[in-house]
A = this chain, B = another copy of it.
Amino acid sequence: MITFAQAFELFACQVLPASLTDAAHLRFRSLAILRQLVHDASLEIGEDGQQIVYVARGATKLVAHASQSRDQIVAFHFAGDVFTVPEPDNYSYSVSALRDSDILTFASTDFLALAAGEAGVLQYLLENTTLSLRRCREKTIALGRKNARERLAVFLLAMAERIGVEQDGRVGLDLPMSRRDIAESLGLTIETVSRQLTKLRDERVIETLGRSGIVLLKPSLLRGRAGFMREAA
């Protein structure tokens, strides 16, 4: 659990240009709202319109709710990530904590009005949005064209890149999300996720340590199973 001051300081260092005036700095500060989410707590995004979210500490999932409690996890975010949550339209969205997390939220319209004069902030936001878009497109490819085995390979590689710890060719992962979360992110069921992980273990591609630990023994093997583009012309 961290204080508002600490959270905003992290945000400012990362997002606001050093050249920003104290007055502008304070205006941004007045827009920020700190949300402290314990494990599994979730923040519904509703009336206040599109939100800009900064993860100061922890790990979160962005969930879209469709009919009949069919939920799709749209993205995972970790400490330091900035992302946008749409206002509800055909779907409603929420941000949930995978671990205890502290996040700052800003009403998008207010934030953008304030950032309009600050090219540096806009650029930072644009870069992050473009990154979110690239990741979302890659997820689209996985969900549209890949089978369960490939989706798991893609997922593990993506997590390795974001929260993996490399040690002599192997990559250690401490996954903050449950099998259910993985399934809801990949458009599969928990049973299928479990079966595919078992298969990868049997094939000596990964090792598992309890519920959350996974070691990628040979990332290159996984890459071969991810269905990425090869030497296409």
Contact = CB atoms under 8 A, between A and B. Distances in A.
A53 B66 CA distance: 32
Interface stretch (A6-14, A24-32, A111-119, A197-205): A111-119
A141 to B, nearest CB: 5
A46 to B, nearest CB: 11
Contact of A144 (B86, B116, B186): B186
Nearest to A73: B144
Contact of A227 (B66, B88, B130, B140): B66
A232 B144 CA distance: 27
Contacts of A137: 64, 74, 86, 136
Nearest to A126: B126
For this chain, the copies found in one complex come to 2
Nearest to A112: B123
B141 A228 contact: no
Interface in A27-82: 50, 64-72, 74
A142 B90 CA distance: 11
Instruction: Determine which residue in A71, A84, A123, A126 has the highest number of CB atoms from chain B within 10 A of its CB, and name it.
Output: A126
Contacts of A68: 227
Contact of A139 (B69, B86, B123, B140): B140
B72 A140 contact: yes
A227 B67 CA distance: 6
A169 to B, nearest CB: 20
Given A136-B140, A140-B143, 15 more contacts: A50-B130, A67-B228, A74-B140, A88-B229, A90-B138, A90-B226, A91-B138, A92-B229, A116-B123, A119-B122, A122-B126, A129-B130, A129-B133, A133-B136, A144-B186
16 contacts: A50-B130, A64-B140, A64-B141, A66-B228, A67-B229, A70-B145, A72-B141, A74-B137, A84-B133, A90-B226, A117-B119, A125-B126, A126-B126, A129-B130, A144-B186, A144-B187
In the A-B complex, the 8 residue pairs with the smallest Cβ-Cβ separation, listed nearest first, are A144-B187, A143-B143, A122-B122, A136-B136, A90-B228, A72-B144, A72-B141, A70-B145
